Chain A
């Protein structure tokens, strides 16, 4: 699924990062617990989280992830956006709850990592 499709489905907006027509992911992992995210071996997934602080971007960096979606309409602090930009991470904001956003994207074909 392309990132543009994902953003459109969850009525989200891209806060930083360049997203091209060919940017896509097939998998998603939704969690507010960063240690759980760090247990995932693969790196080709969208991280969906309600954790609106710098450590969610650090976790994405260490996990070699390119896409992070913040749920529940959180406004990220400026240092978080700057760190995402520095690491070439696309940061997306979505107004829905994690459950609703997950449901919409799962129904549209995005897969769980396990």
Chain B
């Protein structure tokens, strides 16, 4: 099953709706609750990152009986130093993002921790692509 969502940068009211839809789908499919939590926590953090940092983005979720593959492609400023961005506590988030409860510098480390496979590729000035694979079985 494939799901796809368009994400608008700066739209904090809608942030999390894609993750919510993926969560509902996985629940309907009877996926183990601990696996669902890992998928949606990683996805929600990545979705919030698009809203917080990018202009817009597309999320696709490929769900098979064996695994969940999530791809998040955004158009935005990109990340100049990925290693630094992966450091727990490091953040470039705006005050607005912090007021929404994010920007603590835990997003990327948290995604990485929940994923079985995590890939991030960024071109400064163009955008960032994040890929997350989580095994169901």
Contact = CB atoms under 8 A, between A and B. Distances in A.
A33 interface: yes
Which applies to chain B's interface (DSSP): helix, strand, loop or mixed?
A: helix
A61 B102 CA distance: 16
Contact of B16 (A33, A62, A64): A62
A35 B33 contact: no
Interface residues of A, number: 22
A79 B13 contact: yes
A113 B41 CA distance: 18
A83 to B, nearest CB: 9
Contacts of A33: 101-102, 104, 106
Interface residues of B, number: 24
Contacts, number: 69
A38 B15 contact: no
Contacts of A64: 33, 36-37
A49 B44 CA distance: 19
B60 interface: no
B90 interface: no
Interface stretch (A19-27, A51-59, A66-74, A99-107): A51-59
B20 interface: yes
A85 interface: no
13 contacts: A35-B101, A35-B104, A36-B104, A38-B41, A38-B110, A49-B101, A51-B101, A53-B101, A55-B100, A58-B16, A58-B44, A62-B16, A62-B20
